[in-house]
Structure 1
Amino acid sequence: MGKLPYYLLAVIAGFVWYIQSCTTNRVADHTGPEGVPDLVSYNFDIRPILSDKCLACHGPDANKREAGLRLDMAESAYKALAEHPTAHALVPGKPELSEVFLRISSPDTSVMMPPPASNLKLSAREIKLIEKWIKQGATYEKHWAFVAPKKPALPTIEQTDWPKNEIDYFILQKQEQKGLSPNDEADKERLLKRLSLDLNGLPPSLQLMDGFLADKSPNAYEKVVDQLLKSPAYGEKMALHWLDLARYADSHGYQDDGYRTQWPWRDWVIHAFNKNMHYSDFVSWQLAGDLMPESTKEQLLATGFNRNHKITEEGGTIQEEYRTMYVTDRNDLFGKGLLGVTLECAHCHDHKYDPFSHKEYYQLFAFFNNVKEVGMESVIGGPDTYAKKPLMEISDEDVKGILSFVNKRDTNRLIVSVMGDLDTTRKTFVLKRGVYDAPGEEVQPGTPKAILPFDSSYPKNRLGLAKWLFDKKNPLTARVYVNQLWQEFFGKGIVKTAGDFGMQGDLPSHPALLDWLAVDFMEHNWDIKRLVKQMVTSATYRQSAVITPEKLAADPDNILLARGPRYRIDAEFVKDLVLSSSGLLNPTIGGPSVKPYQPAGLWEGATSGRGLLSAYNQDHGSSLYRRGMYTLIKRTVPPPSMAIFDASNRDLCEVKRLKTNTPLQALVMMNDPTVLEASRVLAARLLQENSGVNDKISKAFRMIVSRKPSEKETELLTAYYDKELKKLTPMSVTRSLAVGECPIPARVDKTKLAALMRVVTTIYNLEETITKS
């Protein structure tokens, strides 16, 4: 039998819907377990369904659009269908006349949407949501992230004695709605460890622990927060996330992967965080410091941010192809890192999900397209290749003056790649399919209108772009950075997809809190330290990480934050914790990157054989004990222990690291020379103290785990020490101690040293040691 006429299918489907709606189990009531809300929101209920199941064929991308139907815009969805003028995709108030509902609820595979061949299917709940939304008027809303935030009033809560600041009202309201209550505050030892790792990236010292435990004043916690915020280590901790975002590395990338000297820019980032440069200036200097009136050398150095991308040094490359790649990298970084959207999806065509056109991508591209650079400047080799033009030279006089924060240790020439535009404007064209040699329509600098139209009063250069970014009407800038900081302290952002606030990104778990924080951040002049202090002094942050079976069942991912954060610290901070607790840490801030212990042959097995980085020449002395963030990153062969702990290889902008747990990580902690050497050094220092074995082990435990051990823990570790002391042979002692370059004290019992070293190594290998809880 042939297919039924289109209009007859619509009549039948409408009749079926009518019969269903009259039954006792009618769809419209939504009283079942699906939990359809009383008022359906387009942004939070409907748009995610359309984005996942419909917009690939009925979204912003005109080239992929089917049947001329666009479902992400009301005017298109309401109008008569191009192929069937008597029908409409959506008829507000009438699902029985809306082709969207008829198609998604039809069992007929010839008309069913999404089509079976797509392997996409709506759940019963999703169908009911769309039906109820249509009944309630099928009202569209602009995507939540593209609407400028407004500061909401603090929510009403029942447990009014819990909040420490405004953050807690929003968190507690959600918990109370779900029948949960917050955990008690963490004990002082665990809370201090959490805070110290979050603000300094280091475990607390014994002195800090003892002082905090002894301080019984009501503001003891706030005092230690202020103390940690003033520490120079604060700038180093805060800088690490920014280095990931800015794709900082010590090599150019690609096959030759030669050495580069961008580390003075890293010194500036640490300096900027320590002096609490407000976010608006911090980013504006990096985007356009060279274009500012009476620009200083410090502002010029800040623009190294946009020259951290990979650069080729291979002969035979096509200049324009690679130059276009550099501009593309800057454009994509701006989208992901600063706007939190996937602009790169519009590089070759209109974005399939978000309202960013192919043309708008290249209008934004135009801001970064005027840099005075080439695709391949020189071959690998001499010092002139350490930085690529445009560049700036840092003299000894600069370091004595305006660039005093740069840790320049020698008199060698120091050059850094920075931004600098051509004297005349380079034309920008839409690149067809994103191909460098397929120019289309010429475009002028501009921004995606769906976010915020570019103000005509702003200059059409990177300085104007910075002004647009920090326009109070820009809906993304404050939200995105607030979310990134929240992620740093709570493990996941209020928007889990920190680099995608668009249609395909996750919805915010606490949208009102995100907006309140964003507006408050702007109202207080983009003050980063103030925002950090708000977060870490909240009752939400201070909660114990203890989890009950009931809370685990109700909220396994801790989205409602009814317990404290608990997750492994970042790769660099694992090393920092080991070095700091053992007393080995070299606290020098800034300067060139260093090459610590590494398995032999890694670089040599993956190199072109040219340049300074063709062979790994390990550093010695105090350079071995620098913080993890100063480990030299060669992009083609990143530091192995860092990579195993999920550190970024810095190829591209990264706003959120993976968190994995693999056997390789345990093997690193058991065998890494840095961990073993630190164990030996700490054991030697303890053996030279006039104290008993129990006291030595208890002190080691406190220095490493940041709390006092229980009686049972001390007993187990002491028994292990006694066991090792008895079974160690002269040969095994020699083998155990033969690790690392730090000398062994002359007057130490080596058998006791080896036994205590094994105990210390065991403490380093406790899961709690490298976990923030």
Structure 2
Amino acid sequence: MTETRPLRGALLALTSLTIAGASLLPARSSSQIKAPTAQVPDFAKEVQPLLRAKCMPCHGDIQAAGGLKLTQLKSAMAGGSSGARGLVPHDPDASAVIQRVSTTDTDLIMPPKTSGKTPLTPAEVATLRRWVQSGPTWPEAGAATPAGDTHWSLQPIKKPALPSGKAPHPVDRFLEARLAAKGLGFSPEADRTTLIRRVTFDLIGLPPTEAELTDFLNDRAPGAYERLVDRLLASPRYGERWARHWLDTIHYADSHGSEHDMGRKNAWPFRDYVIQTFNSDVTYARFVREQLAADVLYPNRPDLTPALGYLSAGNFDLSAYYTAPIPFQILDRDDMVNQAMSTFVSTTANCARCHDHKFDPIPTTDYWSLQAVFAGVIKGDVTYDEKREIAEQRAKWNKLKEAAESKSAARILATENKPVVDSFVAALSSFAGWKPLRVTKATSTGSATFTLADDGRVAVGGPRPAKDTYTLVTRPGGGRIGALRLDAYASPELPKGGPGRADDGGYLLHELTIEVVRADGKREKAKTFRASADYAQPNGDAARAADGNPGSAWGIGPEFGKDHHLVLAFEKPLDLADGDALEVVLEQNDGSGHTLGRFRLSVADAPRLALCAVPPKVAELLKTPTQNQAARVELAAFALRETAADGIAALPPQKRVYVAAKAADVADVGFVNIDKPREIHVLERGEMSRPKQLVGPGALSALPELAIYFKRRDMSQESQRRAALAEWVVDRRNPLTWRSIVNRVWHYHFGKGIVDTPGDFGRMGGAPSHPELLDYLAAWFKDDAEGSFKKLHRLIVTSQAYKQSSADRPEADKLDRDNRLLWRANRLRLDADQYRDAALQTAGRLDFTMGGPGVNHFKMGPGPQMTPALDYAAFDWESPAANRRSVYRTVWRSIPDPFMDSLDFPDLTLLSPTRGTSVSALQALTLYNNNFVLSCAQSLARRVVAEGGTLPKQIERAATLAWGRALTDKERKVLQTLASSHGLEATCRVILNANAFLFVD
């Protein structure tokens, strides 16, 4: 169900007021309403579809406007908050619902104009009147979901034979047959200018360029349109457009939502994965498998890790877990269940959370079994390698590291490790040693004093500031330097024996940086390859002294009163001339006096393996020719650990992506600890305090033949549960999956699906307008096209139905007001993304850079609790960041962009399989006055002025760029008059607000 948020308050207020005064509503004349007959309407076929399509979007279980809920007979009879009875059995005239749908008062009629729904026809009103007059009957949930359910969406898909007819295209055959039954036919084909604009916006979300339009209009060879379609499907812009549809469907956004709406800075790789998937035309079955279980089904493809962002798309995060862990677990898994079942199989399984589904064959045990599928995952950032060969190398080094840390003599001294250990020991044994450096100048930001000894040792005295930064200058002489060593010395002159000046003898080194200062004054910063230390305290490892983060530090607690040392190996050796100097900066930012008291700097050049910090005990072992097993294990473990660290440091840094995965793979999970899938119980009425029977992982019992997938795999493993669900979804026998996805694609091409509720194929959802066509497309997509989206697009957009004109035909409109039979094309308004991108392209500003972190179209400041304050008005629309495609902008759930919001960009706290289309004063004012539109109008004016010509020529040019066609005489006159009075920029502003720009015919 799509909610039109700008109108929400008006709808609720209108409903409350009008239900209260229902008896005062003017009714339609008797001539407008067909007289009741003795025939009682079929509830399932005639009444329920009417209620579902016209009433339940505002009067359903989720949204009950005015307190009126039309999902059960009892609630419908009770009426709304005003007290007026919604339905009065045997008395339609006294029923508020009948009064509201019958009235001629345009301010009070239901559904209201603002809902986007058309009023009921006289025949439809008559159907409801007969139904109320008859009783009315309303099958309860038990009667609606018998065993062996026969609902259309659960029936096996059988590819129907093509109906007889003249149309050469299979899609047209099915549509033509339905049209002929009504005495109708297709409209004429749209003109070529309309066609290219329609299909270009449809497939890539942008208008055709001037060159593309000219080429198509001039291409009169057979197959010109098909070649156009192929070119658009091959464009990288195609993936950007169709990824946006998928991201809507799964409610992906760049912030957590909920009460702690923090940003997800690493969510964007999933968005880029979806774009690449559509561009690469990955089969739908594989697309599903990758999103649910890439880690287990494709273990040798680490680059597919971002696909797991599918399950983390929803609006819950760890911040809620800390304060309410159990509710968080349930709500988070509920969101996953709802998302997976809605997007993949168009089923409202979450309606069975508290009780068996009222209308569909989904017992509550099915729902909790689906929760069990996700009982071992958690959301958070995971690291991954984009290239398989890098991942394999990392795995090799991690295997050595795990062996070193295993404390198992057998693993550490394993035969395959001996060459590694021997190579490392040889490198250390041949190492010539470290060369101490004499510091010639030392300064402190905190008034400390320095005593500089000839052997290079530095003693720090004077006041002990809370924070301090030492800057040391030394001249090593000419030669190559591969690493720098910092020795921190214990001393009885320091607190607790040092080597730090803090009361406990410790220090915290937040950052150590080195610059080469050439004799001519030029500076070169040395890049650190790897940092190592003889000892590091927990959460204070050596790497923190060279990670560029002034908030992290290397520390030595509680090993105070001892010597320690840190080694920084350089990415490339430093080549120094005699007159060159080194400037070494030690930042100590703790704020509690944790600064160095005694230290010395040294340098060395040697094989990289030897340039590491060696603990004293290991140094002693290297000197001993024969050793017992314990000594050999300790030396070998150190060799394996340092060799692994050196190998890992040489690899490219890993990427991070926000996904749902097993806890062991999630970095920084804080207090959360889920080491295996939790036990899942059915909760009576959904209450946490009332657990009932234990359930295992599974899916919908209405498809019993597919349960095998949850029996073949080891359900004790979290990842195997997701893999089983993935295989269940994409099984070729699953009728829901294949009908669902082709219906979604059809919806985006025509503005309405064959089933007009893409996320709900149950009894409360829509019924297919062309069931045979739906099954034909599902079978064709699954079998003939082998799950290729591009083949499906090509099939649909090359049909006569797609290419026909959108011009109205009054005689056809009388027979099919909603155009469900597709006797013409639907005229569609640009959605928010299309409008914004089209305005940028028309203005000559659209930046086609692909991928990367989201672009912030706001200024961010501190807000309440963890949620920031976003100022969209403060953003500079002339900046380069303004010009990226809309799919790359940062979408914040609870603080939406007012401009995009006014154009019905969806609320991504909810699944959004469709977008609403509202018309409001706010929308009109926003389109005319928003800074983005003003900026684009200015850019368009500058563009046409730069191209030269008179003012009339510039107006003509601006309109042609925006509308893709020449001006009519009337349009030309109006725009020239406007430009003469208000200037070219104001005229461009009107051009970007015109229906010719806003709508696609």
TM-score range, shorter chain: 0.7 to 0.9
State the one-letter code of the partner of 2:836. K
State the Cα distance separating 1:514 from its structure 2 match: 0.4
Tell me whether 1:688 sits opposite 2:934 in the alignment.
Answer: no
In structure 2, give the amino acid aligned to 1:417.
Y
Quote the offset at 1:497 in angstroms. 1.1
Whether the 8 Å contact between 1:251 and 1:633 is mirrored in structure 2 is yes
CA contact (8 A) 2:321 2:329 kept: no
Of 257, 266, 278 in structure 1, the residue corresponding to residue 261 of structure 2 is 257
Report if aligned partners of 1:428, 1:443 keep a CA contact under 8 Å in 2.
yes
Q: Note the alpha carbon deviations across 1:646-695, whole angstroms, 9 max, x for none.
A: 11231122211111111222112111222111111121121122333333
- Which residue, out of 695, 708, 712, partners 1:443? 695
- C-alpha distance in structure 2 between counterparts of 1:180 and 1:35, whole Å: 31
Other-structure match for 2:798: 537
* Structure 2 counterparts to residues 347-496 of structure 1, below 5 A: 347-371=353-377, 373=378, 388-389=379-380, 391-393=382-384, 414-421=655-662, 424-457=676-709, 458-459=712-713, 460=715, 461-496=721-756
Aligned counterparts of 2:216 and 2:298: Cα–Cα separation in 1: 47
Shift of 1:765: 0.8
Tell me the distance in 2 between the aligned counterparts of 1:687 and 1:655. Answer: 42
Residues 289 and 395 (structure 1 numbering): CA distance in 2 closer, same or farther, change over 3 Å? closer
Q: Structure 1 residues 47 and 700, CA, compared in 2 at 3 Å: closer, same or farther? A: closer
Query: Do the aligned partners of 1:430 and 1:442 also contact (CA within 8 Å) in 2?
Result: yes
| Aligned-partner SS, 2:700 | coil
SS at the partner of 1:429? strand
Inter-partner Cα distance in structure 2 for 1:220 and 1:171:
24
> Cα gap change, 1:531/1:493 in structure 2, threshold over 3 Å: closer, same or farther?
same
Equivalent-residue separation in structure 2 for 1:42 and 1:455 (angstroms): 33
**Deviation per CA, 1:566-623, whole angstroms, max 9, x where unpaired?**
1212111110010011111111111111122x6x8xx769x31547666777467311
CA contact 2:288–2:730 (8 Å) conserved in 1: no
Give the % identical residues: 33
Cα 1:698/1:614, change in 2 over 3 Å: closer
2: distance between equivalents of 1:589 and 1:562?
39
Residue 498 of structure 1 deviates from its aligned partner by 1.1
- Show the counterpart of 2:187: 183
Q: Provide the secondary structure at the position in 2 that maps to 1:493.
A: coil
Quick check: which has more Rg, 1 or 2? Answer: 2
Is residue 152 of structure 2 the alignment partner of residue 144 of structure 1? yes
The letter for the 2-side match of 1:567 is L
Q: What is the CA-CA distance between 1:263 and the residue it aligns to? A: 0.3
| SS of residue in 2 equivalent to 1:184 | coil
SS of residue in 2 equivalent to 1:418: strand
CA contact (8 A) 1:301 1:392 kept: no
Contact 1:290 1:419 in 2 (8 A): no
Note if 1:623 corresponds to 2:851. Answer: no
- C-alpha deviation, 1:316, in angstroms: 5.6
Residue in 1 aligned with 2:230? 226
Task: Pick from 284, 291, 304 the counterpart of residue 279 of structure 1.
Answer: 284
1:391 positional shift? 1.9
Give the Cα–Cα distance (whole angstroms) in 1 for the partners of residues 249 and 688 of structure 2. 25
Q: Identify the structure with the greater strand proportion.
A: 2
Paired residues for 1:754-769 under 5 Å: 755-769=983-997
Determine which of 296, 299, 302 is the counterpart of 2:304: 299
- 1:141–1:614 Cα change, 3 Å: closer
Structure 1 residues 533-542 or 763-772, which shifts more?
763-772
State the AA in 2 paired with 1:515. D
Q: CA deviation at 1:562?
A: 0.5
Structure 1 residue aligned with 2:199: 195
Q: CA deviation at 1:187?
A: 0.7
Give the conservation status (yes or no) of the 8 Å contact 2:699–2:707: no
Conserved 8 A contact 1:483-1:514: yes
The reply to whether residue 211 of structure 1 matches residue 215 of structure 2 is yes
1:382-422 residue CA offsets vs partner (Å, 9 max, x unmatched): xxxxxx536224679999999xxxxxxxx998521223336
C-alpha separation in 1, matches of 2:219 and 2:685 = 64
Counterpart for residue 327 of structure 2:
321
Match of 1:592 in 2: 853
TM-score, with length taken from structure 2: 0.57
Q: Cα offset for 1:205?
A: 0.1
Deviation at 1:478, TM superposition (A): 0.8
Post-superposition CA distance 1:220-279 (Å, at most 9, x none): 111111111111100000001111122211111123311112001100100000010111
Residue 469 of structure 2: aligned partner: none
Which of 723, 729, 732 is the equivalent residue of 2:981?
723
1:552 shift after superposition: 2.4
1:769 aligned counterpart, secondary structure: helix
Structure 1 counterpart SS, 2:259: coil
Q: Is the 8 Å Cα contact of residues 89 and 133 (structure 2) preserved in structure 1?
A: no
* CA drift at 1:439: 2.0
Q: Give the stretch that moved more between structures: 703-712 or 430-439.
A: 430-439
Give the CA RMSD over aligned residues: 3.6
**Partner Cα distance (2:218, 2:392) in 1:** 42
Work out which of the residue numbers 918, 940, 961 in structure 2 matches 1:660: 918
Inter-partner Cα distance in structure 2 for 1:395 and 1:427: 34
Residue type of the partner of 2:289?
Answer: S
Aligned-residue offset at 1:426: 2.5
> Could you give the per-residue CA deviations for residues 295-325 of structure 1, whole angstroms, max 9, x where no partner exists?
4222222011101222152586121221221
Q: Contact between 2:302 and 2:386, CA under 8 Å: does it hold in 1?
A: no
Counterparts in 2 of 1:712 and 1:43: CA distance versus 1, 3 Å? same
Relative to structure 1, is the Cα distance of residues 209 and 401 closer, same or farther in structure 2, using a 3 angstrom cutoff? Answer: farther
Aligned mates of 1:611, 1:357 — CA distance in 2: 38
Secondary structure class of the residue paired with 2:937? helix
Q: Is the 8 A contact 1:182 1:543 kept in 2?
A: yes
User: Closer, same or farther in 2 for the Cα pair 1:49/1:269, shift >3 Å?
Assistant: closer
**Could you tell me which amino acid in structure 2 is paired with residue 702 of structure 1?**
T
SS, match of residue 655 in structure 1? coil
Q: How does 1:57-96 map to 2 (within 5 A)?
A: none
SS state at 2:995 partner = coil
When the two structures are aligned, how many residues end up with a matched partner?
614
Distance across 1 between alignment mates of 2:286 and 2:768:
27
Deviates more, 1:362-371 or 1:199-208: 362-371
Give the distance between the partners of 1:399 and 1:641, measured in 2 at CA: 43
**Matching of residues 10-159 of structure 1 within 5 Å:** 44=45, 123-124=129-130, 142-157=150-165
Counterparts of 2:897 and 2:182 in 1: how far apart (Å)? 45
Any residues of structure 2 matched to 1:672-711 within 5 Å, and which?
A: 672-711=930-969
Secondary structure at the counterpart of residue 681 of structure 2? strand
Aligned to 1:643: 901
- Runs of 4+ in structure 1 off by over 4 angstroms are 31-37, 40-52, 104-109, 120-123, 125-131, 138-141, 393-402, 411-414, 609-617
TM-score (norm 1): 0.73
AA at the equivalent of 1:665: Q
Partner of 2:823: 562
Deviations 1:527-564 (A, max 9, x none): 11000111111100001110022222222211111111
Structure 2: gaps spanning 5 or more residues: 1-33, 54-71, 73-86, 93-124, 138-145, 394-651, 664-674, 716-720
3-state SS, counterpart of residue 307 of structure 1: coil
Q: Aligned partners of 1:288 and 1:665: how far apart in 2?
A: 42
Cα distance change, pair 476–126 in 1 and its aligned pair in 2 (3 A): farther
d(CA) in 1 for partners of 2:389 and 2:39?
A: 64
Q: Does 1:503 find its partner at 2:763?
A: yes
1:639–1:472 Cα change, 3 Å: same
Q: Which runs of 5+ in 1 are unaligned?
A: 1-30, 53-70, 72-103, 110-119, 132-137, 374-387, 403-410, 725-754
